Chain A
Amino acid sequence: MLLANNINFKRNNKTILRNINLSLPPNKIIHLSGKNGIGKTTLLKILTNILEPEIGEIFWNGKNIKKNPFEFYKNTTFIMDQQSSNNNLTVKENIFFWCKLFYSKIKPHEIESILEILQLNNYQNSHVNNLSYGEIKKLELSRLIIERKKLWVLDEPYIGLDEKSVELINETIKNHAELGGMIIFTSHTNPEIINIEKLNLDNNAYF
């Protein structure tokens, strides 16, 4: 379970986040929304221990993530809004790199089926810089299955995806939550997933 307690964050003497509290137990999905620049990505970075809050603490299974970062990271996948795949490598090379980097137990035939589902199987040996934005995004999202972790932190996962891919991601998120996973994501659209908790940062804005 992820617990954020009284998160406050300032940048250049400007308050970005104030008194943010959230709890994310198993089977729960949180949709972070709010206008541009409100601090959605900043909050995700704080929740993943990349940025340090001015005040406040974050706990993973009762332990402060600052004191036990690697135990927390063992259970967390963070898909950022920017591309993390390398343009100089092929789709397959990027996937094998992630498999090895995250010590994934995924089998080669499972990778093949992920690529097929994501309609990337014809691009396995193509360099990432030859893919479209949507295809790069789908490649990025394949990390969710490769890493197989409990907590998914997703920054704008729907951007650039076609209708079919959006449905696929919704289904994947729903299944993960049903299997005891936890998901927090930012998006400007309202995905068609039931039992989703919405946290609008506009109500917490301090400018």
Chain B
Amino acid sequence: MRIFSSISALFKREFQITYRNFSDLMSIFIFFLLAVIIFVFSVGPNKEIFNEIGVGIIWTLILLSNTLSLKKIFQNDFDNNNLILFHMSGLSYEIIVIIKIITIWLFFQIPFFVVIPISSILLNVDFVNIKTIFLSFLIGSPIITCITTISGSMNLLNKKNFAIGSLIIMIFSIPVIIFVVNLTNVSIEIANAQIKILLGIMFFFFAITPWVSATCIKLGLQNK
């Protein structure tokens, strides 16, 4: 009962803080949509090109938008010792990381389900492909969230260069991008196989993220 009270308190707090910083959240999606518009203007009014590269553009921009939310994940709670407070309430660092993963996915990834159709229209992506993007985003977004979480916790060990965190996200996302972007161009059999690989990657990151991030937090606190 005690642990559930602490977990629900953390969820509520994350929701309140995100709601109070709604402009931060909006700036991520405005960045995403503006970047799509810039792509439209820079490539020109060639519908066929967009039909070919539209999915790739959307996924690249999802990735870049995610790096914007990176610093928010642990840094504030680390700086004001709240991570210690959460831990002293009886929650292990692993559980704290799992709560963070869920809240980031809910608050920073779910809204992409609204902006993806808008960007797909702007980029002239076929309706069939929009459904595939949704499916790939459903599997790909938890992976990106886990990678962002690992990167955010690694940043606690690095007081000078925050760009390294963004680089880590990009490097680890390459396999995900290869499989999700390719989903729209392959036959159903190959797509099924790729979805299974993506699910495998997703469960792999589900397994390692809490422990990797918790270790980084503990090391960060030791060196604070």
User: Could you list which residues of chain A lie within 8 angstroms of chain B, going by C-beta atoms?
Assistant: 48, 50-52, 70, 73-74, 76, 78, 80, 82-84, 86, 88-89, 93, 97, 100-103
Contact = CB atoms under 8 A, between A and B. Distances in A.
Contact of B21 (A73, A84, A88, A93): A88
B109 to A, nearest CB: 21
A86 B9 CA distance: 13
A202 B22 CA distance: 49
B9 A97 contact: yes
Nearest to B222: A51
Contacts of B90: 70, 73-74
A63 to B, nearest CB: 16
Contacts of B6: 100-103
Contacts of A48: 88
Given A82-B80, A88-B20, A103-B6, A97 B13 contact: yes
Given A86-B80, A102-B89, 17 more contacts: A50-B84, A52-B222, A74-B90, A78-B88, A80-B81, A82-B81, A83-B80, A86-B17, A88-B16, A88-B17, A88-B21, A89-B16, A89-B17, A97-B9, A100-B8, A101-B5, A103-B6
Contacts of A88: 16-17, 20-21
Interface string B1-42: 110011011101100110011000000000000000000000
Q: Which applies to chain B's interface (DSSP): helix, strand, loop or mixed?
A: helix
Nearest to A143: B85
A86 B86 CA distance: 13
26 contacts: A48-B88, A50-B84, A50-B221, A51-B222, A52-B222, A73-B89, A78-B84, A82-B79, A82-B80, A82-B81, A84-B85, A88-B17, A88-B20, A89-B13, A89-B17, A93-B16, A97-B9, A97-B13, A100-B12, A101-B5, A101-B10, A101-B89, A102-B6, A103-B1, A103-B5, A103-B6
B82 interface: yes
B90 to A, nearest CB: 5
A126 B9 CA distance: 20
B20 A89 contact: yes
B81 A84 contact: yes
User: A48, A74, A89, A103: which has the most chain B beta carbons within 10 Å?
Assistant: A103
A102 B90 CA distance: 8
